[in-house]
Structure 1
Amino acid sequence: MNRTKPIRWGVIGLGWFGEVHADNLAEMPDIELTALCTRRPERVAEIADRLGVENRYTDYHQLLADPNVDVVSVTTHINDHRQIAIDALRAGKHVLLEKPMAPTVADCDEIVKAAEEASGLFMVGHICRFDSRVALAKEAIEQGRIGTIISMHARRNLSTAIGQLVLDDISALMGDGIHDADLMLWFSEAKVQTVYAQEVHPGKNKYPDGGWSIARLDNGAVAVVESVWHLPESTPYAIDARLEVIGTEGALYINCGEAGLQIHDAAGVKIPDTMYWPRPFGQYAGVLQEELRYFANCVQTGEAPTRITPGESRAAVAWMAAATKSAESGSVIAF
């Protein structure tokens, strides 16, 4: 692709995170936010008017037929991921699909097959892989600084207020636990052998509010994922996310909950996001921008993404899908 021309980008799905994608893309150099799509005409008009986007669609097939779109972000409900991603790949678009790739391994396999046959590039948006703290941890592991990994534990917990907004769409384990499942498999370069999980469902939404999953990996390590979306609404931080990795010769700890800033005012104490998609002085920055820039660079150079591969994304879905099955049955699931 000619580097002098901007990458023309469309967004399919304008829920909360689809809007975040669109907002970030609209501010990025060398990217032209060309088209937006959601099923609700009033919603697409709202976002397109605000961002000055001319091409507006309520049918994603029409966006995929638009020759002025090179790349699409697919930020829809997880149950819509498979068909939209496959259609986008078959339409010749480069596709950035939000995680999780799909709700089932079978769906993932269909997407992976379509990606292998497509002319465009494909990547699943596992944003945590672009967090500099996580990247430095991966580097330290690869340098052998903590020896062989024997144990990992992560928690990624949110307030009940956020849970109530999301838990009709996805469970806490599949929605957020998948981040840490992916990071643990990336860090260890191992595969899951067995999975056991338990979930809790104190709320009134469709999916469980929280869960714990323990996996035995094929390198002998034990990995535990905790994700609970039932913290008090007064919780000051946006997310309580911490990851511990213990090796035969050392350990490392990643704290993604401490943002480095506390604001104390009449409403109490709040710890705003300073890492993922903050907007200091009215301009977006952060990890999401790094992910988008990375995929844009892949499109410009024609080089397939290596930071996260489709097979790696599928493996994280497989673990969390097995955790759901284990929690429902009470059984250990063997791979």
Structure 2
Amino acid sequence: MSVVRTAVIGLGDFGSLHLDVLSSLPGVEVVALVSRSQARARELAAQYGVPHTFGDADEMLARVPVDSVHVVTEETRHLAPVLAALRAGVDVFLEKPMSHDLAEARLMAAEAERLGRKLMVGHILRFDARCAEVKARIASGEMGRVATVYGRRNMAKSMASQYSHSSRLYTTGIHDVDLVLWYFEGRRPVEVYMKTMAVFGQGDDVFWGLITMDDGSLGVIETSWVLPDATPFRRHILLEVLGTQGAALVEVPAHGLMLWTDQAVVGVDTGYWPRVHGATVGALRDEILYFVTCVQQNRPIEMPRPAEAVAALEVSQALVRSAQEGRPIRLD
């Protein structure tokens, strides 16, 4: 396949980033946009030269031939467009988390396998050069046997209102759940425990979770939405991996670009989706390019496999249940 004809379903902030990346990739033609807001769809279609806009994914799939779609809606609205695309013979890039509901995630993965279609879930940190380097060092044996993985992903408090359609753990903490499972590859999570707080009274906004693996090694998840809005980069991210022969530390924005002005100290994204020479690059571009290449060359999706994305959601959902019930949850 020389040219991949694709559509973007969902045109919020992240959907527009997908569109920007796809529009810059050679061998990709964005032929349709789908949004509940037709004004938004028409605006972006005019900006990027996309010929078709729709308010409904089913109508788009019936009227426009596409090879792939990018589903970038809220996780509570993933199931219908993903199943429709797969059943239309179309490969799917699905933003994480797969769903707010584990049964829906399992259904999507099973349907992709049954139909022989590609389904890639956007766990972007697997394409972050820092996190991927840690994985490479673990795989090489350089760090010995990994004993603990700690992931912190704390956000500015004003961002919480944007993410209230399901547990906020699915928005941020699931990134680190996926890293825990990836770094402990070959081991199985057997128990989880989580405590939460609702600091500002708008739903849970502090999450502390513990994941115990079958050999006793530990993963710790910390995520919150209570940082001051003046925090550089509006978030603080920390990854620490301790092994028997070494340790790894990733911190954002501490190792990135910081700008000092008379008004503020500003952290600038240089890793996830920065703009360089007018184009969106970084881990997001690398992730999307991987999917496009798999579609073009008919290669299987392995980063991550759908089953791995389901596993991350299974652990995350068990963490949420643990907090709700106030007890550790054993995993089958």
The alignment's TM-score, normalised by the length of structure 1, stands at 0.95
CA contact (8 A) 1:261 1:272 kept: yes
Letter paired with 1:196 = Y
* Correspondences of 1:38-53 after superposition (within 5 Å): 38-53=35-50
Pairwise CA distance, 1:249: 2.0
Letter paired with 2:330 = A
* Correspondences of 1:1-335 after superposition (within 5 Å): 1=1, 3=2, 6-166=3-163, 168-189=164-185, 190-205=187-202, 207-335=203-331
Pairwise CA distance, 1:70: 1.1
Structure 1 consecutive aligned stretches of length 4 or more whose deviation exceeds 6 Å: none
In 2: Cα distance, 1:171 partner to 1:105 partner:
13
1:42-84 deviation per Cα after TM superposition (whole angstroms, max 9, x unaligned): 1211211221211100011012223431110000110111222
In 1: Cα distance, 2:44 partner to 2:220 partner:
39
CA contact (8 A) 1:238 1:272 kept: no
Pairwise CA distance, 1:314: 0.6
Pairwise CA distance, 1:111: 0.7
In 2: Cα distance, 1:84 partner to 1:184 partner:
29
Pairwise CA distance, 1:267: 2.7
CA contact (8 A) 1:240 1:256 kept: yes
In 2: Cα distance, 1:274 partner to 1:259 partner:
10
CA contact (8 A) 1:199 1:212 kept: yes
In 1: Cα distance, 2:132 partner to 2:242 partner:
17
Pairwise CA distance, 1:239: 2.8
1:20-58 deviation per Cα after TM superposition (whole angstroms, max 9, x unaligned): 111111122211111100111112112112212111000
- Classify the secondary structure of the residue corresponding to 1:230: strand
In 1: Cα distance, 2:308 partner to 2:91 partner:
19
CA contact (8 A) 2:227 2:235 kept: no
- Classify the secondary structure of the residue corresponding to 2:78: helix
- Classify the secondary structure of the residue corresponding to 2:280: coil
CA contact (8 A) 2:209 2:222 kept: yes
In 2: Cα distance, 1:259 partner to 1:13 partner:
32
CA contact (8 A) 2:4 2:292 kept: yes
Between 270-279 and 235-244, the greater mean CA deviation after superposition:
235-244
1:101-123 deviation per Cα after TM superposition (whole angstroms, max 9, x unaligned): 11122111111111111243111
Letter paired with 2:32 = A
Pairwise CA distance, 1:333: 0.4
Aligned length: 330
In 2: Cα distance, 1:46 partner to 1:304 partner:
35
CA contact (8 A) 1:150 1:221 kept: yes
Between 31-40 and 249-258, the greater mean CA deviation after superposition:
249-258
Letter paired with 1:246 = L
Q: Which runs of 5+ in 2 are unaligned?
A: none
In 1: Cα distance, 2:158 partner to 2:17 partner:
19
Q: Which runs of 5+ in 1 are unaligned?
A: none
Pairwise CA distance, 1:15: 1.2
The alignment's TM-score, normalised by the length of structure 2, stands at 0.96
Letter paired with 1:289 = R
Pairwise CA distance, 1:289: 0.5
Pairwise CA distance, 1:208: 1.4
CA contact (8 A) 1:197 1:323 kept: yes
% identical equivalent positions: 36
